Structure 1
Amino acid sequence: MAMARSKKNQAIKTVGFYTGLIGLLTISLFPFFIMLMTSFKSTEEAVSTSPTLFPKEWTFKHFIDIFNPDIFPFLSYFKNSLVVSLTASGLAVLIAIFGAYALSRLKFMGRTTINASFYTVYMFSGILLVVPLFKIISGLGLYNTKTALIITMIVQTLPTAIFMLKSYFDTIPEDLEEAASIDGLNRIQIIFKIIIPLSLSGIISVFVYSFMVAWNDYLFASIFLSDSLNFTLPIGLNTLFSTPDYVWGRMMAASLITALPVVIMYSISDYFIKGGATEGGVKG
């Protein structure tokens, strides 16, 4: 009797859990569903006073229009965003690996203070960095260049990247490095042959985080870029609002495609973290 009651309670908890999960997912994904449906609606139906959940007549016109350079230079903005995001993420991860290793393994004066200072980063908004960064970028003659945005994104993501990787490096036994040192490896070789292979999942997570921040950035791109040839996608989408070519369906189509790289990055990182890409380092 007690066992039957226990199974019944467990079944109720399971049903309640999945019901709540489905409800949460529905609420979270509903705006994206509306965006998707709107992107397939005609211009008239998208702004109709009698809204419909699904398009009465499906159309791919908006997706075709955003790839028309005369309407919206999507590919140009996409290339700029990709260059900035990949370069900034790659450099941030590379610098963070060495910085995190130094804070995790080396003993030097001020290490505790530096470690504690990373927590203060979360106390301030990125808007506070605008003025000093603008003065630095202008002084270097880099205003209105993709290089300025890359430097800014590195500054934005590096503290968190170092903090995340240091926490990951702290979990790696130092005995492995001592054994490698006895075998004749120096610090640099230990980092590339021991630390990085064992930390691939953490490194990939940091890269995805940095990529997401750089890809979605609007604040710094709107300040440091003034030439439309250098615009990234968030700025390009904003300019589309101010043009005669602005329609809801076109905006939704452009927004959905803009979000795809981040979704793809998360999918790839999930594959490498859960798949066999990290097994070689653990077994070695």
Structure 2
Amino acid sequence: MASSKKNKISKTIGFYVALVGILGISLFPFFIMLMTSFKSSKEAVATNPTFFPKEWTFKHYVDIFNPDIFPYLAYFKNSLFVSITAALLAVGIGIFGAYALSKLKFKGRITINASFYTVYMFSGILLVVPLFKIISGLGLYDTKTSLIITMIVQTLPTAIFMLKSYFDTIPVDLEEAAMIDGLNRVQIIFHIIIPLSISGIISVFVYAFMIGWNDYLFASIFLSDSANFTLPIGLNALFSTPDYVWGRMMAASLVTALPVVIMYAISEHFIKGDATAGGVKG
């Protein structure tokens, strides 16, 4: 009995030691970025680097919000607009597409379901040429609309696949009872399917938002005017100019990562709350 208790304690200690080690390795680059963002330009590139700044400075954080040095807010607004719009459209279209594949019976449904797995076989680079020809043909090159369309193309298959998995767990009896009460298919989606799948919908929205927020490949191809640049392209442009310094780059990168971190934290809160509420109702 005592030996089994000791083994359990040793396993627990080993687990937490390993967890702390993995977290330390994963977070170490972010720690270096954070410390570098508070260092002076000379100290950031010193021959003998230090973990902590000798003299703390917030100058780099002030500089990135200076339009004469880096139009961060303009790029931030572009990224926010593209990411939120693309995520909302992907979720909106995905809800109806996933409901059709999950609840409706029609010819070819199984083939369409199976085709979603093929999306993971190809990388986004293979879509560049056909999308470029389509975007150019529509006269949308170098517009934020072109980037929104490409983000929807990138995220919609996964959005439909993920939402369908959630919709499959909703009993058909609920829909039959709703139809008896006089609800049509669209009303069922808004009054039953969406409320019961809110955690899945939030997960898909965050996924689509992150893809749009972090995209560099399509933004670098479909955007040429700096007024339309998103943050990944803007950061690359800053890195290629004489105004680039390591501290400023680290500060800009950290601030750019904040929206994703905040959105993930908020979505986790809603997902946990929805799961708890669902358990109580069940």
- Give the TM-score band, short-chain normalised: over 0.9
* Distance in 2 of aligned mates of 1:22 and 1:115: 41
User: Does 81-90 or 274-283 show the bigger shift?
Assistant: 274-283
Deviation at 1:283, TM superposition (A): 2.8
Residue equivalent to 2:79: 81
Whether 2:46 is the aligned partner of 1:48: answer yes
Percent sequence identity is: 84
* Distance in 2 of aligned mates of 1:147 and 1:174: 38
* Distance in 2 of aligned mates of 1:84 and 1:147: 8
AA aligned to 1:129 is: L
Residue equivalent to 1:170: 168
Residue equivalent to 1:93: 91
Residue equivalent to 1:182: 180
* Distance in 1 of aligned mates of 2:136 and 2:60: 39
Which of 210, 213, 216 is the aligned partner of 2:214? Answer: 216
Which of 184, 191, 194 is the aligned partner of 2:192? Answer: 194
Deviation at 1:276, TM superposition (A): 5.2
Whether 2:145 is the aligned partner of 1:150: answer no
Deviation at 1:281, TM superposition (A): 9.9
* Distance in 2 of aligned mates of 1:150 and 1:166: 23
Question: In the TM superposition, what whole-angstrom CA distance separates every residue of 1:32-52 from its partner, at most 9, and x where no partner exists?
Answer: 000000000000000000000
Deviation at 1:257, TM superposition (A): 0.3
* Distance in 1 of aligned mates of 2:22 and 2:210: 23
Other structure's SS at 2:34 match: helix
Over 3 Å counting, the alpha-carbon distance change for 1:277 and 1:11 in structure 2 is: closer
Contact 2:80 2:213 in 1 (8 A): yes
Whether 2:57 is the aligned partner of 1:59: answer yes
* Distance in 1 of aligned mates of 2:240 and 2:143: 23
Deviation at 1:279, TM superposition (A): 2.2
* Distance in 1 of aligned mates of 2:29 and 2:39: 15
* Distance in 2 of aligned mates of 1:79 and 1:282: 40
* Distance in 2 of aligned mates of 1:193 and 1:253: 44
Other structure's SS at 2:55 match: coil
* Distance in 2 of aligned mates of 1:118 and 1:276: 27
* Distance in 2 of aligned mates of 1:138 and 1:8: 68
AA aligned to 1:35 is: M
* Distance in 2 of aligned mates of 1:209 and 1:278: 22
AA aligned to 2:69 is: I
Over 3 Å counting, the alpha-carbon distance change for 1:27 and 1:134 in structure 2 is: same
* Distance in 2 of aligned mates of 1:95 and 1:17: 43
Over 3 Å counting, the alpha-carbon distance change for 1:281 and 1:6 in structure 2 is: closer
Other structure's SS at 1:270 match: helix
Question: In the TM superposition, what whole-angstrom CA distance separates every residue of 1:153-204 from its partner, at most 9, and x where no partner exists?
Answer: 0000000000000011001111111111111000000000000000000000
- Which structure 2 segments of 5+ residues have no match? none
Deviation at 1:124, TM superposition (A): 0.3
Which of 65, 70, 73 is the aligned partner of 2:68? Answer: 70
TM-score (norm 2): 0.98
Residue equivalent to 1:261: 259
Residue equivalent to 2:224: 226
Over 3 Å counting, the alpha-carbon distance change for 1:278 and 1:81 in structure 2 is: farther
Other structure's SS at 1:275 match: helix
Over 3 Å counting, the alpha-carbon distance change for 1:223 and 1:281 in structure 2 is: farther
* Distance in 2 of aligned mates of 1:101 and 1:174: 12
* Distance in 1 of aligned mates of 2:187 and 2:110: 26
* Distance in 1 of aligned mates of 2:273 and 2:176: 29
- Which structure 1 segments of 5+ residues have no match? none
Contact 1:92 1:154 in 2 (8 A): yes
Contact 1:66 1:72 in 2 (8 A): yes
Residue equivalent to 1:138: 136
Question: In the TM superposition, what whole-angstrom CA distance separates every residue of 1:46-67 from its partner, at most 9, and x where no partner exists?
Answer: 0000000000000000000000
